[in-house]
Chains A and B, each alone.
Chain A
């Protein structure tokens, strides 16, 4: 038995082993290898969840806008954190947009409401009349009162200051004196929940007020944050929403996997029929291609989305293409009367420039798509780009290596089995 045959058998064995672990995972002692399926991050369209894109309704641009967008993002982050979502993803897009992605939510409606609301914060009197809203709050920060106790300092904009002056004046007039304190309470309400209920001690005319009570630095900071978070610095409009229920996500994933598997099987069979021995080699190279591509996917933490799956399946088609180009060349070389070995070598050489030129042009399209696309389109571009690069690698190195190995194994010298006439 020659060395090549042993090596070939070894390669097949390793390939089967890796494929097995990719599908089912395995455990050796403490060492656990999870199947690829568990390692790949799924996009919201496959895992179920919500994404919301908000756009700032503003004429501001440049640094001012950037600053406010950062603040808005931080506030939304705060609101989302309250929902208890694992790994919320909040990004600023296109300078004036914020994309919020939340996976696996119990109540998506509530989340959407919470994220986009500009002014959920209200200052109300005890009759429930709204005095000012969070939009009027300009500053909300921790300070110290006369007794050096932590407190929250508030500052309203001019409109808010005016309203606040009227309201506090009215309260002081209607319920004067210390004994009426409890009637002069102004409730600070966030999302219908009273977060603080200070009472007015004097008419506040300059829009600056201090909430004191028995605060610690921490609780004062917390209240200041809540009040601040109630007011997004920009009005955000909901311009895109997608809520994918968990069942749809699962259905999408399962159906795509089934479709992918069947498509793949058909391609494998077709390659065998069309190209025989090289077809078998191509099938092996394709298996390796799929493993590497998925591996890269996991490694760079790319999120697999539905369009991503479409892109991946298309990239398998392209990986096949590189092999087909090579094999057709080999066939031609055989037809001219070359031996199998020289036909394979010169076939590869001839095919190489074609493969590179053809793939570079596609690569250009993929890169442009990645740069200009958003959301789903990007998911598509990422898988396609990974697919292209990996497919070139496997076609150029692995297919060649395997083909040469098969020739060295010296099992057959029939040119017919290599596609010759």
Chain B
């Protein structure tokens, strides 16, 4: 197997850039599709006992919010999940449910889930997410600088930002609602993807020590070749577990599983094709020599 991530960096960077640019353009033009936990809103999930066409379900909701999103869920599509950006209070929620209850002869148990989020919650979640990512990033940068060197840290963080941007872009392109589960999953991906990157960097560090007179790009390619099986095998096992969860899980867990799937894929890609080439660029730009110099690396 011939791998040259340095040579192919124009292509691999290009693919990522393309996805991110399309995602960002769509984000700027039509905005992200935020979940109700960000915008504030109400979710009502009702078991109607049989599959009722969405248009019919919508008739009652039209009296409240014509823009409500209504989707089927559960076995045989017996359930409907109604989401609206209006945060209805308890009485209003009961009123809405009671109309469905009367219309379809339901029990009180048929109201399987109701959620309400005030608008202030979303802003705070976003702010917290931002702070979390910032702190985690600095923390990891410090650790990597301490264990490796600053350039490795920078490259790892670049890969990590890449993963988050890819996640955001995919959500923006596919118009999937960004909610707090997505944020949590992205934060986890930050941890997961850096794990992948570190494994590669660790090998580069080791190979630098071992083979003193090799150019960086060769060292990188050897290191990636040595670790690629591990990267793929690990990602494959994790992907299998998370994908099964996505296929079999209920709505709430799908919200977690999907960004994890995207994140694991992006993370594996970036740890192979983004992190090391970025490190290479940083390294050759700084030292203007693309060979190991004992004075520049302390590992």
Q: Which residues of A contact B (CB under 8 A)?
A: 45, 53, 55, 109, 112-113, 116, 237-248, 251-252, 255-256, 258-260, 262-264, 266-267, 270-271, 274, 306-307, 309-311, 313-314, 316-318, 320-321, 324-325, 328, 332, 350, 353-354, 357-366, 368-369, 372-374, 376-377, 380, 384
Contact = CB atoms under 8 A, between A and B. Distances in A.
A175 to B, nearest CB: 37
Q: Which of A53, A259, A266, A332 has the most CB of B within 10 A?
A: A259
A238 B109 contact: no
A384 B199 CA distance: 19
A368 B135 contact: yes
Secondary structure at chain B's binding surface: helix, strand, loop or mixed? helix
B71 interface: no
A239 B128 CA distance: 17
B240 A252 contact: no
B142 to A, nearest CB: 9
Contacts of A271: 237
Contacts of A354: 198-199, 202-203
B272 to A, nearest CB: 15
A372 B131 CA distance: 8
Interface stretch (B26-34, B50-58, B110-118): B110-118
Contact of B112 (A237, A248, A374, A380): A248
B256 interface: yes
A240 B118 contact: yes
Contacts of B227: 328
Contacts of A109: 90, 94
A281 to B, nearest CB: 15
Contacts of B250: 248, 251-252, 255-256, 306
Q: Is the interface of A mostly helix, strand, loop or mixed?
A: helix
Contacts of A53: 121
A355 to B, nearest CB: 9
Given A361-B191, A362-B192, A325 B230 contact: yes
Nearest to B119: A239
Given A255-B249, A320-B237, A362 B244 contact: no
B293 interface: no
A238 to B, nearest CB: 7
Contacts of A238: 89-90, 116, 118
A354 B207 CA distance: 13
Interface stretch (B2-10, B181-189, B274-282): B181-189
B180 interface: yes
Contact of A373 (B121, B132, B198, B245): B132
A358 B253 contact: no
A247 B143 contact: no
A190 to B, nearest CB: 19
Interface in B120-145: 120-121, 128, 131-132, 135-136, 139-140, 143-144
Nearest to B117: A240
Contacts of B195: 318, 321, 358-359, 361-362
A190 B92 CA distance: 23
Interface string B6-42: 0000000000000000000000000000000000000
B98 to A, nearest CB: 11
B230 A328 contact: yes
Contacts of B180: 376-377
B191 A365 contact: yes
Given A309-B253, A364-B136, A259 B112 contact: no
Interface string B241-252: 111110111101
B120 A369 contact: no
A286 to B, nearest CB: 10
Given A55-B120, A240-B117, A316 B241 contact: yes
Q: Which residue among A246, A256, A358, A374 has the maximum number of chain B CB atoms within 10 Å of its CB? A: A358
B117 A313 contact: no
- Identify which of B114, B156, B226 gathers the most chain A CB atoms within 10 Å of its CB: B114
The 9 closest A-B pairs by CB, nearest first: A317-B238, A365-B191, A239-B118, A263-B241, A362-B191, A259-B248, A245-B112, A263-B244, A368-B136
B47 interface: yes
A309 B246 CA distance: 12
B84 to A, nearest CB: 14
A362 B238 CA distance: 15
A248 B233 contact: no
Contacts of B191: 361-366, 369, 384
A320 B190 contact: no
A373 B180 CA distance: 10
A317 B241 contact: yes
Nearest to B240: A266
A324 B252 contact: no
A402 B242 CA distance: 28
A416 B160 CA distance: 37
A53, A248, A252, A255 — which one has the most chain B CB atoms within 10 A of its CB? A248
Interface string B67-84: 000000010000000000
Contact of B249 (A259, A270, A377): A259
Given A112-B90, A314-B188, A328-B229, 19 more contacts: A238-B116, A240-B115, A242-B115, A244-B112, A255-B249, A258-B248, A263-B241, A263-B242, A264-B241, A313-B245, A314-B192, A314-B241, A317-B241, A324-B234, A353-B202, A359-B195, A362-B192, A377-B184, A384-B191
A405 to B, nearest CB: 24
22 contacts: A240-B115, A243-B114, A245-B111, A245-B112, A248-B112, A255-B248, A256-B245, A256-B253, A263-B242, A263-B244, A307-B181, A314-B241, A317-B238, A324-B233, A358-B196, A362-B194, A362-B195, A364-B139, A365-B187, A373-B132, A376-B184, A377-B180
